[in-house]
């Protein structure tokens, strides 16, 4: 999006929260704040984007098979051992990994139903 000189910038994630009467912080840690700008930019450059979640990588370590590269961005610093092992195996098989996040906390566990995440 191009914003002319003197124009008021738009913040889609904040406008969404205001419209639905959510706290402006509802998206501070997730998709609406971090991933859309990257996805829009990458797609505009011709990249094909597929999205996987932490649950996908944790429960299905082979979910990266067939991909040449994976990208981690935004508020994505909480990983389980299973997720890290899956990523390490992907890299060992020749996969590439680009990391655009600000931190990394490795010791995370999920309950059996994948509803609760515990940080250690």
Range(s) of the domain holding residue 12 = 1-46
For 110: left if phi > 0, alpha if psi spans -120 to 50, otherwise beta; the answer is beta
How confident is the model over 23-44, as pLDDT tens digits? 767 666 666 667 778 888 899 9
> Above 80 in pLDDT, residue 88?
yes
One domain for residues 30 and 72: no
Tell me, yes or no, whether 54 and 36 share the same domain.
no
For the chain, the domain total comes to 2
Q: Let me know whether 57 and 116 are in one domain.
A: yes
Examine the domain organization and report whether 39 and 59 are in the same domain.
no
110 and 66 belong to one structural domain: yes
d(CA 93, CA 96): 9
Please tell me the pTM assigned to this model. Answer: 0.73
Same domain? For 38 and 88 the reply is: no
The β-bridge relationship of strands 105-110 and 78-80 is parallel
118 and 59 within one domain: yes
């Amino acid at each position: 999006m191009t914003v002319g000189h003197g124009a008021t910038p738009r913040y889609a994630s904040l406008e969404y929260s205001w419209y639905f009467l959510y706290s402006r912080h509802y998206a501070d840690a997730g998709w609406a704040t971090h991933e859309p700008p990257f996805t829009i930019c990458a797609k505009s450059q011709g990249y094909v984007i597929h999205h996987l979640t932490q649950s996908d990588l944790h429960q299905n370590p082979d979910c990266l098979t067939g991909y040449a590269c994976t990208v981690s961005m935004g508020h994505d610093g909480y990983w389980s051992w299973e997720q890290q092992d899956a990523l390490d195996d992907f890299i060992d098989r020749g996969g590439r990994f680009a990391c655009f996040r600000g931190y990394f906390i490795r010791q995370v566990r999920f309950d059996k139903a994948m509803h609760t995440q515990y940080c250690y």
